[in-house]
Amino acid sequence: MSLLNKKLIFFVSFLSTTSISYASGLFSANFFCTIAQQTNGKCPELPTDEQSLIDTLSNLLLTEIKKVYDSLPTCAADEKLENNVCVKTTTPPTNGGTTPPTNGGTTPPTNGGTTPSCKTDEKLENNICVKIPQITTQTSPACGIGETLVDGICRTTRIQLCEEKNWGVDLFKQSRSQTCFNNVVIKNGNFYNENVISEKASVELSIQILPDISQIGMEADTLLFAFRYAPNTEEWVKDGQSWRIWSSKDWKGTSLDLPSDSQRVKLGYVPNSNEPTYQLSIPIFSGELKGSAGNYFVIYAGYRLMDGTVICNCKNPFILQIVN
């Protein structure tokens, strides 16, 4: 314990017990004289009352405390005072000695050298510069005139190749569709542009459909109906692979009640493949139309989407006149 601490403890103890000490004679003249001699080399007369004793001794102790305090060394920020001597303040490792690196020596960078300086497009990972992944926002291309965006790709809008009279319609909404219907007649192996055909000619009749670009890839059932005008009118429908007599009077008025030519065809693709063709061909008839001279055929074709929408050539059907 330092001298200053001892004096402070004594002074506090003295002040707390002065009246008792004075009355019992614990602070004798010899003890008081010893304190005074340590302070100024003189032994003053003992005060005759308690208050004087307190005042006198307090002055002596405070003078001594100041002298002792002034004699103490001034310690640095990293030092503390122990036994009136400044000593370094150190926090020893918990193992009682200097804590070495876990590898037993100076811990080098993980790559064995100086930490690298990365470029602006790099970041530091495990002390190695790696490329920062670039986050790009994909934007849809701007399509040109006559093109429509389908699955992120600009495709030619086939409707521009269609004559206005060949545009299809939505059967129930009675609104124009951007689906094109082209009548195809192949006579004796050659394309034929007339609607008048000899019953003796070998023909291939079909309707080529260029679906609305927004419906490319959708599944649909194809529909094919024919009205034969002769002395008596007949209604026919192609149900599956065969034509049969059918009466529109039996139709209940919903699209699902219409017999289909083929089912779940992928619009705009080659059948049973993922190869795009952007057209759909519906065969009507192949061979000779013997015995049909003098007849007219009015053929309606279209497709039914899975949601019940029916697109057809209802306003401009395929009309054929059969002659000798």
Mapping DSSP onto H, E and C, the string for 117-162 reads CCCCCEEEECCEEEECCCCCCCCCCCCCCCEEEECCEEEECHHHHC
Higher per-residue pLDDT: 278 or 283 = 283
Q: What is the DSSP letter of 261?
A: S
- Report pLDDT digits (tens) over 76-135: 878 887 777 888 876 555 555 554 554 554 444 544 567 888 888 888 888 889 888 765
182 vs 279, residue with greater confidence: 182
Residue 256 has pLDDT above 90, yes or no: no
- Residues 215, 221 contacting (CB under 8 angstroms): no
- Lookup: tokens for 219: 């599944």
- Alpha-carbon gap, residue 224 to 284, rounded angstroms: 8
Q: Could you tell me which residue, 156 or 260, shows the higher pLDDT?
A: 260
Angle between helical axes of 50-71 and 29-40 (0-180°, round to 10): 40
Residue with tokens 């034969």, as numbered in its chain: 228
Dihedral sign (CA 186, 188, 193, 194): negative
Q: Is residue 87 within 8 Å of residue 79, measured between CB atoms?
A: yes
Domain coordinates of the chain in residue numbers?
Answer: 3-71, 163-323
pLDDT value of position 88: 82
Q: How far apart are the first and last CA of the chain?
A: 139
- 6 versus 23: which is more confidently predicted? 6
Query: 163-323 has which fold?
Result: Coagulation Factor XIII; Chain A, domain 1 (2.70.50)
Instruction: Of 66-70, 202-206, 237-241, 305-309, give the lowest mean pLDDT range.
Output: 66-70
Range in 9-23, 144-158, 294-308 the model is least confident about: 9-23
Q: What's the confidence (pLDDT) of residue 22?
A: 45
Chain centre to alpha carbon of residue 184 = 50
b (16+ CB within 10 A) / e for 29-56: eeebeebbeebeeeeeeeeeeeeebbeb
